[in-house]
């Protein structure tokens, strides 16, 4: 492929045929279940987490495939759709459990001509968050990704302890009502869960993968409630399997193998690089490029993550 056939930078509008995207960048995003290649020891860690019903904390550098693990396990064990909680410094446990849209409820009451707030009919304005949905009753464990938990506020890991230990939580707005069960929508779904006496309690503890880039330490009470696994530095053989799986082939070409060797050599020299950078480079450069242009593109695509 050649970039000149798409964008030339001369400001002249033209009709061009855009290149096909790589298989892993088509939309809607495909599942990475079949492309994921677990490193040594990770299969045992997953089975241990499932057996003892504990979250699996996976630590490794960005782009090492941590987040793809949940797709592989959920597909292989038929755990249904993957629930995802992408953690930031503003993330709270409350939002991950459920959300109550009180303003929408007041607006609906005004449209209905009701004189004031009423405690009935609250269900349509409640929605479970990703963690709350994972803890809802189900015939099989649900699959939940808590991504980049090391980006959270310092208190969040400790806040999780009681919920993950008990496998249940209270919806405060419903708990004071009592009475009949109330249907609450699941996360990103129209399906409903019945909250009994304002509580959601799991019948099967979910399979939870928490990822960390290793940027902070966690408190001991949190760590002892997790099965922990550290992603090892990939070797050429492992990367070859990953590349072949993503490119939908059985083997890699000689050009791709050379890029993999360069990638591994740079990793061992201490550089911070991500596997998706390698995939991008192979997708673009495993063809005919002049040497000067190829070197320039390699510098662009395999730029170290710790640099500017």
With a threshold of 0.85, does the pTM exceed it? yes
User: Is 117 a residue whose pLDDT tops 60?
Assistant: no
CATH class of 42-230: alpha beta
pLDDT confidence of residue 4:
60
Tens-place pLDDT, residues 19-76: 888 888 889 987 878 889 899 999 999 999 999 999 999 999 888 889 999 999 999 9
Angle at 208 between CA 163 and CA 279, to 5 degrees: 145
Greater confidence (134 vs 30) lies with 134
User: Is 140 a residue whose pLDDT tops 50?
Assistant: yes
User: How many of the other CB atoms lie within 10 Å of CB of 62?
Assistant: 17
Angle at 48 between CA 47 and CA 54, to 5 degrees: 115
pLDDT confidence of residue 107:
79
The rounded Cα 81 to chain-centroid distance in angstroms is: 12
CB 247 within 8 A of CB 282: yes
Residues 197-220: what's their mean pLDDT?
95
Q: With pLDDT > 90 as the criterion, what percentage of the chain qualifies? A: 66
User: Is 104 a residue whose pLDDT tops 70?
Assistant: yes
Smallest CA-to-CA distance from 226 within 56, 81, 60, 108 is with: 56
Mean confidence (pLDDT) of the chain: 90
Distance between terminal CA atoms of the chain? 28
pLDDT confidence of residue 251:
82
Tens-place pLDDT, residues 258-298: 999 999 999 999 999 999 999 999 988 876 667 778 888 89
pLDDT confidence of residue 31:
81
Scanning the chain, the segments in alpha helix (DSSP H) are 42-52, 69-76, 93-97, 102-111, 130-134, 156-166, 172-175, 220-223, 236-246, 254-268, 275-285, 291-301
pLDDT confidence of residue 5:
66
User: Is 116 a residue whose pLDDT tops 60?
Assistant: no
pLDDT confidence of residue 114:
54
pLDDT confidence of residue 179:
72
Work out the pLDDT band at 168, boundaries 50, 70, 90.
very high
Quickly tell me which residue has 């045992």 as its tokens. Answer: 44
CB 140 within 8 A of CB 207: no
Q: How far is CA 110 from CA 7, 96, 100, 105, 106, in A?
A: 54, 29, 17, 9, 6
pLDDT confidence of residue 84:
98
pLDDT confidence of residue 307:
65
Backbone φ/ψ region at 110: left (φ over 0), alpha (ψ -120 to 50), beta: alpha
CB 70 within 8 A of CB 31: no
């Amino acid at each position: 492929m050649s970039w000149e056939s798409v964008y030339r930078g001369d400001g002249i509008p033209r009709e061009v045929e855009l290149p096909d995207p790589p298989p892993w960048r088509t939309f809607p995003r495909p599942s990475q279940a079949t492309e994921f290649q677990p490193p040594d020891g990770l299969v045992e860690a997953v089975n241990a987490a499932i057996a003892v019903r504990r979250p699996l904390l996976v630590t490794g550098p960005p782009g090492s495939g941590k987040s793809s693990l949940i797709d592989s396990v959920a597909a292989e064990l038929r755990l249904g759709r993957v629930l995802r909680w992408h953690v930031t410094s503003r993330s709270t446990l409350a939002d991950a459990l459920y959300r109550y849209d009180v303003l929408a409820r007041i607006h609906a009451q005004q449209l209905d001509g009701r004189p004031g707030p009423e405690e009935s009919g609250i269900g349509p304005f409640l929605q479970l968050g990703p963690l709350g949905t994972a803890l809802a009753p189900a015939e099989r464990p649900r699959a939940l990704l808590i991504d980049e938990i090391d980006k959270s506020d310092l208190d969040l890991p400790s806040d999780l302890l009681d919920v993950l230990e008990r496998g249940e939580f209270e919806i405060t707005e419903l708990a004071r009502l009592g009475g009949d069960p109330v249907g609450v929508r699941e996360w990103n779904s129209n399906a409903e869960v019945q909250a009994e006496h304002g509580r959601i309690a799991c019948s099967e503890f979910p399979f939870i993968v928490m990822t960390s880039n290793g940027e902070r330490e966690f408190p001991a009470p949190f760590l002892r409630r997790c099965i922990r696994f550290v992603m090892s530095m990939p070797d050429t053989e492992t990367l070859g399997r990953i590349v072949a799986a993503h490119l939908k082939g059985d083997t890699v070409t000689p050009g791709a193998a050379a890029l993999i060797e360069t990638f591994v050599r740079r990793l061992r020299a201490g550089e911070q690089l991500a596997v998706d950078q390698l995939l991008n480079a192979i997708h673009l450069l495993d063809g005919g490029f002049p040497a000067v242009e190829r070197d320039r593109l390699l510098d662009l695509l395999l730029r170290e993550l710790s640099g500017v």
